[in-house]
Structure 1
Amino acid sequence: MLLDLNAFETKSSVGTTLPPRRLGTAERLLRSVRDIAGPLAEVVSHAEAPWASITFSGARHTLVLRFAGSDAVSDGEGFVTSLPEHEFRVRGQLVADATITRVDHELLPAPLMEVECEILLLSED
């Protein structure tokens, strides 16, 4: 005997859609960084630490990106040169500083580049 699942009423599944998820500041920043770094970049790590001065508050984001392969390394070199001057658009935030803190290159067994950067976001409130 087979059970007909359509014979049962399922109220929970009728008309229930989740509202769109709002992106947090860190996720918006990561999207911006990925846009600059290119599609071949892999975000290896991301850390966020609160930051404050007498007049401003915000967060310092430390990211490590890996570029594996010759095409990706080429994208990584472009990322290193363009990040410090890039005009970020992160809603509600001002990018006060974006610096490259470390670059590691490997040629063998395959081209690999790892880039660490720090981005200081200040709240516009």
Structure 2
Amino acid sequence: MTRHESTGRGPWLRLLSQALELAGPDAEFLRHSECPWSSATFSGTRHRILVAFNGEHALSSGEAYIAALPEHEFSISRQIVADATVVEVEHAVLPAPRMTVEAELLLLDDC
């Protein structure tokens, strides 16, 4: 558990909420992780979000999420989403259609 998770505060919750809103009501939240990130000029956090889309109807929502995520404008106070990438997509057809989507987002401090 990171410092932000332990206090229930921080930009990760806003980021996660907006990502899940973008994924839509057919998305099932599975996991979120966060780790510190820095370069010579920037600091922030890298986030991984895993969601599932279950059933034929939900697969369309999953495809829309994959298409929309990289260009989505997040609104998080004092933070910039510098990169949002789908890093893995898995499909299953049995016992029912299912797609899992793992996204990685780079959140930079905007001081």
TM-score by length of 2: 0.89
| 1:121 paired to 2:77 | no
The number of residue pairs the alignment matches comes to 104
Where does the alignment leave 5 or more consecutive residues of structure 2 unmatched? 1-7
Cα distance in structure 2, aligned partners of 1:53 and 1:24: 21
Which residue of structure 1 aligns with residue 44 of structure 2? 58
Cα displacement string for residues 56-102 of structure 1 (whole angstroms, at most 9, x for unaligned residues): 10000011111111121111110001101111111110010000000
The structure carrying a bigger strand percent of its residues is 2
Per-residue deviation, 1:23: 4.9
Cα distance in structure 2, aligned partners of 1:70 and 1:89: 31
Cα displacement string for residues 29-60 of structure 1 (whole angstroms, at most 9, x for unaligned residues): 01100111001111111100000011110000
| 1:78 paired to 2:64 | yes
Cα distance in structure 2, aligned partners of 1:72 and 1:95: 26
Cα distance in structure 2, aligned partners of 1:76 and 1:112: 10
Cα distance in structure 2, aligned partners of 1:65 and 1:47: 12
Superposition RMSD in Å: 1.2
Cα distance in structure 1, aligned partners of 2:22 and 2:50: 14
Superposition pairs of residues 29-108 of structure 1, within 5 angstroms: 29-108=15-94
Where does the alignment leave 5 or more consecutive residues of structure 1 unmatched? 1-21
TM-score by length of 1: 0.79
Amino acid of the residue matched to residue 46 of structure 2?
A: R
- Of the two, which has the highest radius of gyration? 1
